[in-house]
Structures are given as C-alpha cells and as structure tokens.
C-alpha cells in the first residue's frame, strides 16, 4: 500500500521527508491556497524536499486548458502525478495525457460509474473521498471496497487512493480492505503515531534506565 500525506505546509513536508516509507505528498487547490505562495514555486519546493511523488491539480475548466497545465506541471518535479476532476473535460484531458505517459489521478470520484469511466481512461489513480462521502450519509468505506472490486472485474491497473481520511482507524480499515494507497492530513498521521500506552511505557523504561545508571554510578 502506498502512503501519502496531504499537505503543502513546508514544515510538515520537511518533517514527513524523514519517513523512509513515505511515497509522496498530495495537494489540491484548497491546500495550496492556504499557503499563500506561488503555485509553481510551492510544488517545486515540495519536489526538492521529498524523494517520492508530488501530486498537483490542474485548475482549467476545459480539456485543452487542463492538458496544457498538466504538461507544464509534469516538468516541475521528477515524479509528478497530475490530478484532474472527474468530469467530461477531465476525462478527455486524461486520455491525451495517458498517451504521453503522464501519471494521472481522477479526483472527486463519487460513484461506481465514475470508477468505470476513469478505469477505461487508463488513469493511474482514482481518489474517492471517504470523509466527504460519509458526510453525505453514504458509506465511504463500502464505496472503496466496491470500487476495488469493480476495477478488479475490469482487469484494470488503475489504483484506488483513499482521501479525506479523518481518523487512524479508517486508515487501518482501508488497509485491511486491500486499498492501493491512502493519503491523509499531517494531523491524522500524528494521531496514528500517538498512543497514551506507548507514552506510559516509554516513561517507565526511561525511569528504570535512569535508576539503573544511578545505581551503577553509586557502586
């Protein structure tokens, strides 16, 4: 399973870059807008800070505009993934980019018909938004499982990346469901790392070791 963090914050990216298992950084227009930095400058900065893939989204409204943006953005780093919206224009642009061997992610995939169309377009990834799906009273994890089965039935190499993951247990559940990749905020990642029991155990080990060293010094 590929593992990504969804951020454009420089300090978070720097900290995340120390993780050997990190497969890359994903972004979207909303995340970039929060940083109040030139789009190209920010993506290129991220690309210099990590070894993995950098995902960025085309913002054009037509297939031609998205295609032109994607070709330029693909040159901003060594391992770029171009995100396109799951609509008609996005599918047209995706088909042309796939011919150029550009890795494409169809984002905002919200139905199994979307899954079928994106897989037929030959994109590398699709990204259903688990949390946003749950917000609309649909079962986001069930949708992920059905999407995986649909892609398997189509014998498509398209991968499913779970996005909008709002808690550690959701990440675990998706991993157990056999998802291809996940991306989450840095805050959610930190919650995966943290455990009060681990903190208590480490504090006890530290205290016992300190007492042991003090005893040795006293002998």
> What pTM value is reported for the model?
0.92
Which residue is catalytic, options 42, 53, 83, 159? Answer: 83
Question: What are the C-alpha distances in Å from 184 to residues 10, 88, 100, 168, 208?
Answer: 16, 27, 29, 9, 37
Which residue ranges make up each domain of the chain?
Answer: 2-218
- Residue 183's pLDDT is 96
- Residue 64's pLDDT is 98
- Residue 131's pLDDT is 79
Average the pLDDT over 125-145 and give the result: 86
Q: pLDDT of 139-181, one tens digit each?
A: 889 999 999 999 999 999 999 999 989 999 999 999 999 999 9
Quote the radius of gyration of the chain (alpha carbons, Å). 20
Q: Which CATH number fits domain 2-218: 3.30.750.80, 3.30.460.80, 3.30.2350.10, 3.20.20.70?
A: 3.20.20.70
- Residue 26's pLDDT is 98
CB neighbour class for 101 (10 Å; exposed up to 12, middle 13-18, buried from 19):
exposed
- Residue 219's pLDDT is 66
- Residue 78's pLDDT is 96
Q: pLDDT of 36-93, one tens digit each?
A: 999 999 999 999 999 999 999 999 999 999 999 999 999 999 999 999 999 999 999 9
- Residue 132's pLDDT is 79
Average pLDDT of the residues of the chain: 95
- Residue 175's pLDDT is 96
- Residue 130's pLDDT is 87
Average the pLDDT over 88-107 and give the result: 98
- Residue 82's pLDDT is 98
How would you write the chain as a 3-class SS string?
Answer: CEEEEECCCHHHHHHHCCCCCCCEEECCHHHHHHHCCCHHHHHHHHHHHCCCEEEEECCCCCHHHHHHHHHHHCCCCCCEEEEEECCHHHHHHHHHHHHCCCCEEEECCCCHHHHHHHHHHCCCEEECEHHHHHHCCCCHHHHHHHHHHHHHHHCCCCEEEEEEECCHHHHHHHHHCCCCEEEECHHHHHHHHCCHHHHHHHHHHHHHHHHHHHHHHHC
Query: At 136, is the pLDDT very low, low, confident or very high (cuts 50, 70, 90)?
Result: confident
Question: β-pairing, 24-26 with 53-57?
Answer: parallel
Identify which has the larger pLDDT, 131 or 73: 73
Note if 53 is an active site residue. no
């Amino acid at each position: 399973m590929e593992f990504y963090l969804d951020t454009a914050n420089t300090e978070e990216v720097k900290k995340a870059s120390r993780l050997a298992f990190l497969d890359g950084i994903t972004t979207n227009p909303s995340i970039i807008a929060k940083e109040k930095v030139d789009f190209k400058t920010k993506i290129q900065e991220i690309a210099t800070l990590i070894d993995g893939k950098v995902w960025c989204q085309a913002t054009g409204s037509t297939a031609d505009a998205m295609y032109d943006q994607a070709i330029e953005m693909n040159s901003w780093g060594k391992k770029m993934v171009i995100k396109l919206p799951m609509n008609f224009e996005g599918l047209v642009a995706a088909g042309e980019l796939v011919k150029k061997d550009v890795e494409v992610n169809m984002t905002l995939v919200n139905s199994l018909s979307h899954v079928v169309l994106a897989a037929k377009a030959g994109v590398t990834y699709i990204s259903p938004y688990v949390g946003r799906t749950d917000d609309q009273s649909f079962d986001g994890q069930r949708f992920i499982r059905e999407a995986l089965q649909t892609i398997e039935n189509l014998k498509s190499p398209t991968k499913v990346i779970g996005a909008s993951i709002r808690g550690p247990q959701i990440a675990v559940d998706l991993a157990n469901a056999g998802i291809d990749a996940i991306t989450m905020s840095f805050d959610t990642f930190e919650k995966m790392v943290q455990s009060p029991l681990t903190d208590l155990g480490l504090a006890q080990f530290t205290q016992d070791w300190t007492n042991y060293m003090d005893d040795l010094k006293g002998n």
